[in-house]
Chain A
Amino acid sequence: MVIETKGLTFNFGNQTVVKSLSLQVPEGSIYGFLGPNGAGKTTTIKLLLNLLKTQEGDIKLFGLDFKDHRKKILSQIGSLIEQPAIYAHLTGKENLVNRALLLQIPESRVDEMLTLVKLTAAANKKAGNYSLGMKQRLGIALAMLSDPKLLMLDEPTNGLDPNGIIEIRELLIRLTTQHKKTVFISSHLLGEIERMATHVGIINFGELLFQGEIKELQSISQPMVLIETNNTVDAANLLTKNGYNVVEVKDEHLTVTYQSKEKSAQINALLNQNGHSVYSLHKVQKDLEKLFLDITQKPAK
């Protein structure tokens, strides 16, 4: 495990922000850390980076403890927390050169990073004049400068346009598949995480509600068959009589639990034989968005 926490708990005053969190992030994974705003994601990342003092519980990064191995751990992590921390009075390139100086990285790497995040043309502009997306890309370049084994990115696609989001996504996938890096990425958007993560942790009100491979999350959510007919109510009655599990009936369509391809064909045949006009019938692969809402909308205890 690259990141492993046990019973991690953190309070701001008498408000518990992180509750007994046990994270398990395996090597080479893209771990999507999902949760709505204010769920405790940033606090968790700050705890993982030792920016906030651990109050209760235990954190191990690369199997090491912060107490004795602070430098060793931090030298293998690149991070981007909240808004990227950028010196506005320096140019984009100077921001990278300054970090390279601190980390003793050759300056050639700075140009590589600028190319990677497509900031070469704006390299000598003041970073204070960058757009939000450019700042975000510079932040990612700063995080990746030292070629760290673990990247911790807090909402890295904030402020990026769709193209920028796709680029970042592809970059992260490349890093993990080709370069054996591990990426810990937080987001409040399931769709974004779904497209790249191999593992997911869902947090709300500081509690971990789900953790596992993305496949497991998908398997929790059952596939459905969505049917459009001229009379959904009668169709629903007919299907129920014939032993199908109707989940939902609406004016436009009804949904039935998916069983198999053959069963879907039989549904179609049954409806046709009984005089229903079937306008469309298709399998809804998953409804993670809904699942996510179900999971995160549980009231706070």
Chain B
Amino acid sequence: MKGFILSLQSEFYKSRKTLGFWSAIILPVLLSLLVFLVMYDNSAKLAPLPGMMIWRAYSGAIINIMGVLLPFFVIFVAYSINSVEHKADTWKTLFSLPISKWSVYAAKYFYTVFLIFVCLLLFLLFTIGTGNLLGMIKPELRFADFHMEWALTQVFFKLFLASLGILSIQFLLSLIWADFLKPMGIGFVCTISGMFMVGLNWEYAYLIPYSHPMQAMVSMMPHVKGKGRDLKAEYIVNIFTKELYVGLIVAVIVFIAGYYIVQRKSVK
């Protein structure tokens, strides 16, 4: 356990100067800032909306963009955390430290999970924060009339859970292959296929982890035909869906399989 915690600290120390780490912070900052500016510019159009609708419009814009970006972000972070060792040729040093291989491996994995979590947590905080800020600067936008902190927390938590399947697969691919193209190429192709599967409403899409973030988005923000008072403005969040179980099972299996691969991995 001590080795695990030490390795986790070391992961932070090593990664804090890499793009992988900073992207977890920059992505939510930039995206919420962008939506903030667009909404600020269009405040006249948005002014008639009631509080609930304005929150829905504001957060929906952020969630729509980041939901599409999320799988790619996961692919990139999984690559980045492993490439630190590939580039420096440090696997041999990591595995000749008096720390168990299990601790080294698990710490790397959970640090990657942690970065995804931090990224989504920041998205939540910045969505709420910039929304309220916009409400203060432009009081005619009725952000203050409604609160959806809890609903947004659930939305981002759901997206976090939906990314775990992809994460574990990509982590393993990036661990095995030192180069950039293989894990990235496979990840991109699978993600785009996953999006199509959801788009085409394929009934077994839930079995493919790469389709999970998109599935989560579609289920939380159903398209409602026709506008007006009937439009469902609130998010519908069901955490415990069958794709969540598939994602978690895949994550656990791949995580354990990865450990055996690491164990058997001779450092050449």
Contact = CB atoms under 8 A, between A and B. Distances in A.
B96 A51 contact: yes
B10 A102 contact: yes
A15 to B, nearest CB: 13
A93 to B, nearest CB: 12
A49 B88 CA distance: 19
B87 A102 contact: no
Nearest to B2: A104
A85 B90 contact: yes
Interface in B1-58: 6-7, 9-10, 13-14, 17-18
Interface string A71-92: 1111101010111011111100
A71 B17 contact: no
Contacts of A103: 97-98
Contacts of B268: 52
B10 A101 contact: yes
Interface in B75-102: 84, 87-90, 92-93, 95-100
Contacts of B201: none
Contacts of B7: 102
Which among A71, A85, A88 has the highest number of chain B CB atoms within 10 Å? A85
B241 interface: no
A79 to B, nearest CB: 6
Given A71-B99, A85-B88, A85-B93, A53 B266 contact: yes
B99 A102 contact: yes
A71 B98 contact: yes
Given A90-B17, A97-B13, A71 B90 contact: no
A104 B92 contact: no
A72 B7 CA distance: 18
Contacts, number: 69
A50 interface: yes
Chain B interface residue bracket vs A: 20 to 34
B98 A49 contact: no
A165 B67 CA distance: 56
A258 B95 CA distance: 52
Interface in A250-283: none
A126 B98 CA distance: 27
Interface residues of A, number: 31
A98 B88 CA distance: 14
Contacts of B95: 51
B266 A102 contact: no
A70 B266 CA distance: 15
A198 B7 CA distance: 38
A46 interface: yes
B102 to A, nearest CB: 11
A269 B95 CA distance: 66
Contacts of A86: 88, 90
B89 A83 contact: yes
Q: Which of B9, B17, B84, B96 neighbours the largest number of chain A CB atoms within 10 Å of its CB?
A: B96
Given A88-B87, A101-B6, A101-B9, A46 B98 contact: no
A89 B266 CA distance: 26
A102 B97 CA distance: 8
Interface of B: 6-7, 9-10, 13-14, 17-18, 84, 87-90, 92-93, 95-100, 264, 266-268
Given A51-B267, A142-B93, 13 more contacts: A49-B96, A50-B96, A51-B92, A51-B96, A75-B98, A79-B96, A85-B89, A85-B93, A86-B88, A86-B90, A98-B10, A98-B14, A101-B10
24 contacts: A46-B92, A46-B266, A49-B92, A70-B98, A71-B99, A72-B98, A73-B98, A75-B98, A79-B93, A85-B88, A85-B89, A85-B92, A86-B88, A87-B88, A87-B90, A88-B88, A89-B84, A90-B17, A97-B13, A98-B10, A98-B13, A98-B14, A101-B6, A102-B97
